[in-house]
Structure 1
Amino acid sequence: MAGAGPGGCAAALALATAGADVVLVHRERPSRLPVGESLAPTARPLLEHLGVLDRVTARGHRPCYGSHSAWGQDTLTAQDHVRGPYGSGWHLDRRLFDSSLREAAHEAGARLHSGSVTAVVRTGDLWRVSVSGTEVVAPYLVDATGAGARVARRLGAGVLPTDHLVAVAAVLPGARPQSGTRRGGTERVSLIESTAFGWWYTAPLPSGHHVAMALTDPDLVARAGLRTPTGWFDALATTRHVHARLAVRGTGPPQRLSVVRAGTSRVLPTAGAGWVAVGDAASATDPIAARGITSALATGIAAASALTARADGDGQALGRYADLTSGVHDEFLRARTACYRAGRRWDTPFWTRRTD
């Protein structure tokens, strides 16, 4: 198992619970901006399936009651999670969420191995995997290395991008409360606002701060003035709803910005002889869909089922998994196009690239 994010941990946990011998390769990374901080309510049945719902949602996270958006118009529309079948979602402490999943996988029997995959060789029906100087021998590989799909590309798969969207993001101090968005004294909704160069997103963090990000294409970053903290802050101040939410007049520019890959891409194929890709390593999707973590959990569970079936003699199991992930990605692309067409107000490069 290469990678211990939500997809890799979900696959490791499901396989270990089923009795498989699992090695979960994980490399500690420097502290990063908490951009994956929201978890949709649709993740609830997946976490229940893995037996970790209470464990991973009760430790430092906060409820997310829905989202507000000014998408294609000046006024806000609201989506209320609480009225849906799964109740509220969560604003996550992402590092804590991921570590909770790793702990659960380890307690189920998965062995954690610190390092990263540096070489992969197929010998008969086995893989010989070099992990930071140590060799691991296994009949199956799971690539959970993110959108770069480092293992799948070593095995001959290709990464096919649809766009190269990036998020220019920062963490800002907690802002003044907004009427209609408070429960229990705390603001608990995400906010999206479209602009000529792309769109803005902001959400509260469990720490009390807010993450805010401008999403656009790499060649438009400088044109939109987003290269420097001051320019980014000035662009934020021109928004209507994000500006009001964050009360930016009372603060200064952030100390630093982080540029995070946020593009849509797929890996073809997502499975082959003795291997599968999960999460962003299989299908990375535009964050407008708010489905990244949920999709990672779902593909991890589906991949574990496919590998178990293949080990039991079902020679078509991995092919069905590949067909499933490809079909889901195709469906997403259609929904993505419809979403951007609904939000288009400007004949600017960002919007024409996604709607023409």
Structure 2
Amino acid sequence: MNDVRNSATDGAVACDVLVAGGGPAGSAVGTLLARAGWNVVMLEKSEHPRFHIGESLLPMNMPILERLGVLDKVRAIGVEKRGADFPTEGGNYNVFHFDRALRGSSRYAFQVKREEFDQLLFEHAREAGVDARELTRVTRVAFDAAGRPSSVDATGPEGDYVLRPRLLIDATGRDTLVGGALKLKRRNRQHQSAAVFSHFRGVSRRPGEDAGNITIYRHAHGWMWFIPLREDVMSIGAVCSPEYLKERGGDSEGFLMRTIHSVPEAAERMAASERCADVHATGNYAYECTRMHGPGWLLVGDAYAFVDPMFSSGVFLAMHSAEQAAHAADAALREPAREAAIFGALQKSFDAGLDEFKWFIYRFTTPTMKHLFANPRDFLGVERAVVSMLAGDVFDARPVLWRLRIFRVIYMLAALGSLRDRVFGWLRGGAAVDRVQDTP
């Protein structure tokens, strides 16, 4: 274990890096910085294992897991995922298989029970030399006149104490420790949504090599996920507008089941199922912070931004940001005078990749996107670029990105054509204009 020192003046715990939060982002950044030789303390408010949503990984997670040295351990607890299923008319499925990705990323990913996955990564960080403490909550962060964290108060099984890190990394997820303290957190007004979810047994799976795929169903007020897990468990959730969520009243289970049964193909798969976990609900699903960094602090994973998990990007974005943050933190600790420039470059790079997911997410429920996903064409490699996006290959990926720009043009032209047809139909006294508007 790294040497964690006590300040000679006030007895505070001194360390190079304090990581607040022991989820995938915190454990990943802590592991990598401990390997680089820094004294790292990681505080997790809960005790592993604990329930968490977000069970679907992306192929671009696989190289990160391999670099961390946990790929085989994750394989042992995961269900192999070869692609993503998008149902089409007539009970059929259009399957985007990862082996069609443009740049030959991993051909698979895993679906994992997060309580197992998160515990595995947390214990791995401890083995790497991180002073990893559970049931320990950060209660206060004090900032000096320059905006740098001067002290961090924490409470845990050993009592209350103060830490003085050179660098604070916020990996607290939706708690957004620093974002909340500095009032940086903002709801994403372009895409407001909420979710209700649970686990079920006995849900039918897709046949053959598609048995481990995630299935994305559209419903009238949003979309649903079906994620196969080990031991015949299926994670099922409905993401919907906040207005529709108000209809659940106090009956989350009834609301979830009504939403599932509004889609015949999904209801058919549920025929022999039974719920095996509590029903959870969360609102204000998408948010982001106005800054990713400041003097002596960094935000990683969901502590910085959370987008609608439509394409299973959550864990990948968390771990990618953590890995890149570890490189940036290592460089900044060695060259403090360059800290702002190093962290600024990190945010610029991460934001660019995050925006690729956002563009698709904001438009996914439109009729135009539904049509394009149901009728893919590999014009100039555009379909394979979309598969690459679904695999998570959006960072430093020029061959993918310029083809995604072509897809945007195709979408815009198709959306404008759809709008034209609706307006002309209205002028001719035909069917009413579709209330679901496209977003060019």
CA–CA distance in structure 2, aligned partners of residues 253 and 156 of structure 1? 39
| Structure 1 counterpart of 2:196, from 149, 168, 172 | 168
1:50 aligns with 2:68: yes
2:142 to 100, 121, 127: 121
Aligned mate of 2:208, from 164, 174, 182 = 182
Shift in Å at residue 229 of structure 1? 2.3
Are the equivalent residues in 1 in contact too, given 2:48–2:118 (CA < 8 A)?
A: no
Deviations for 1:196-225, whole angstroms, at most 9, x for unmatched residues? 111121121112121211110222124478
The alignment yields a C-alpha RMSD, in angstroms, of 2.9
| Cross-structure match for 2:322 | 300
The one-character-per-residue Cα deviations of 1:88-134 (angstroms, maximum 9, x if unpaired) are 11110211111111111111111012311111123586631111122
Q: How far did residue 155 of structure 1 move? A: 3.6
Corresponding residue number in structure 2 for 1:276: 298
Count of residues paired in the alignment: 346
Could you say which residue in structure 2 is the equivalent of 1:9? 27
Q: How high is the TM-score relative to the length of structure 2?
A: 0.71
Deviations 1:153-191 (A, max 9, x none): 31453334233312111222223454xx234xx931211
Counterpart pick for 1:97 among 97, 117, 126? 117
Equivalent residue letter for 1:267: C
Q: What pairs with 1:326-341 in structure 2 (closer than 5 Å)?
A: 326-341=351-366
Indicate how the Cα distance of structure 1 residues 146 and 34 shifts in structure 2: closer, same or farther if over 3 A, else same.
Answer: closer
Whether the 8 Å contact between 1:65 and 1:189 is mirrored in structure 2 is yes
Q: Relative to structure 2, which stretch is displaced further, 15-24 or 228-237?
A: 228-237
Q: Is the 8 A contact 1:7 1:278 kept in 2?
A: yes
Is the Cα–Cα contact under 8 Å of residues 75 and 110 in structure 2 kept in the other structure?
Answer: no
Partners of 2:75 and 2:203 in 1: CA distance: 25
Give matches, 1:194-343, under 5 Å. 194-223=218-247, 227-246=251-270, 248=271, 250-251=272-273, 256-261=278-283, 263-313=285-335, 314-315=338-339, 316-341=341-366, 342-343=368-369
Is the 2:219–2:262 Cα contact (8 Å) retained in structure 1? no
Sequence identity of aligned pairs in percent? 24
Structure 1 contact 169–211 (Cα < 8 Å) conserved: yes
After superposition, what is the alpha-carbon deviation per residue over 1:271-309, rounded to whole angstroms, capped at 9, x for unaligned? Answer: 000000000111211111211101101100111111111
SS in 2 for 1:139: strand
Amino acid of the structure 2 residue aligned with 1:182: G
Structure with greater proportional helix content: 2
SS of residue matched to 2:60: helix
CA–CA distance in structure 1, aligned partners of residues 48 and 23 of structure 2 = 14
Highest RCO, 1 vs 2 (Cα 8 Å, sep ≥ 6)? 1
The question of whether the paired residues in 1 share the 8 Å contact of 2:171 and 2:301 is answered with yes
Deviates more, 1:267-276 or 1:187-196: 187-196
Aligned to 2:83: 66
Aligned pairs for 1:154-165 within 5 A: 154-162=181-189, 163-165=191-193
**Runs of 5+ unmatched residues, structure 1:** none
Unaligned runs of 5+ in 2: 1-18, 372-432
SS of the aligned residue for 1:59 comes to: helix
Give the 3-state SS of the residue equivalent to 1:39 in structure 2.
coil
Please tell me whether Structure 1 or Structure 2 has the larger radius of gyration of its CA atoms: 2
1:290-343 Cα deviation digits (max 9, x unpaired)? 111011011001111111111121231112223223333333332323434344
Q: Distance in 2 between matches of 1:160 and 1:334?
A: 17
Residues 71 and 297 of structure 1: CA distance in aligned 2, closer, same or farther (over 3 Å):
farther
Give TM-score scaled by structure 1 length: 0.86
2:57 to 27, 39, 43: 39
- Tell whether 2:112 aligns with 1:87: no
